[in-house]
Amino acid sequence: MEKARALKPDVITMDYEMPMMDGVTAVRQIMAENPTPILMFSSLTYEGARTTLDALDAGAVDFLPKNFSEVSSNSAALKAKLHQKLAQIARKTAATQTPMVKPVDVPKVANIKGQIRLVVIGASTGGPLAVTEVVRNLPANFPLPVILVLHMPENFTRAFAERLDKQSRVKVKEATDNDLLVPGTVLLAPGGKQTILHPVNKQTISVIDGDDRVNYKPCVDITLASAAKAQGAGLLGVIMTGMGSDGRDGARLVKQQRGHIWTQDEDSCVIYGMPQAVVREGLSDRVCKLAELSRLLSTEL
């Protein structure tokens, strides 16, 4: 806390277990005194997940799970991931001080009320807080099923689903194999697996191991691709804050099947990478402010 006051850093990394004060309390106090992007770097356990989610609620922007076997056996790879996260978060901070790039034109918004049968939401860096804001503001009578795909490891998705369910009027649960798509229920894709729509029974979820060559487990592209094939014009994909371009290829398939894509606007993203990749390809039907997404989902579908 003293260094945050004195140095005013671009980014802070924070563990949880420390002498004198735990990391969540430190995050809360730093955000109150000297708001700074904070990356939680904590253990890959269920309790570590719960603590990390507490830190996100306190104001941390993102997290990187600390797998102790990876620290000992492949520390170079973990170091590279940490560096990439820090650089991306710092770049977002610096971007607020530099001229904006001219935005890509987005076509006029089409009326899709009554057409949509399924909503798929994808996010990564900054996603837990952004998605929480959207889901907990959906009404109890929200008429559509939702699949939520976040780049999170297994213990984190379970803890996040439990927490979000307690905060929301809609039902939220971690998806399991053969779950049904139920109106007013949000199924969170489990970490370490791929979540797709069953190729025959299109109202059923399949949770599979997937291909190890795919970078993300769960992967937004894979879920969107299967949903596009199953739902066609009845699908709405929403691409939110996140690093990289996961969701772009899936969005292209959604559009080919006459489905619809919304993206989160740049100003409200922690990292604009995923929505930007979709917008630059001309695949976004609507750019939405985070604060408006719940209302738009509730009133325009």
Domain extents in the chain: 2-95, 118-299
Catalytic option among 165, 246, 249, 265: 246
Catalytic option among 42, 124, 206, 284: 124
Domain 118-299 has CATH 3.90.330.10: no
What is the rounded average pLDDT for all residues in the chain? 89
Catalytic site includes residue 151: yes
Catalytic site includes residue 198: no
- What is the assigned CATH class of domain 2-95? alpha beta
Catalytic site includes residue 124: yes
Catalytic option among 42, 43, 54, 151: 151
Of 138, 134, 163, the closest CA to residue 51 belongs to 163
What is residue 221's predicted lDDT score, i.e. its pLDDT?
Answer: 97
User: For residue 14, what are the β-bridge partners?
Assistant: 40
Instruction: Please tell me if the domain spanning 2-95 has the same topology as the one spanning 118-299.
Output: yes
| Percent of the chain with pLDDT strictly greater than 90 | 64
For residue 98, what pLDDT band results from cuts at 50, 70 and 90? very low
Structure tokens at 163: 């927490």
Structure tokens at 78: 């973990």
Between the alpha carbon of residue 158 and those of residues 161, 247, 268, the distances in Å are: 5, 22, 26
Question: In this model, does residue 222 exceed pLDDT 90?
Answer: yes
For residue 240, what pLDDT band results from cuts at 50, 70 and 90? very high
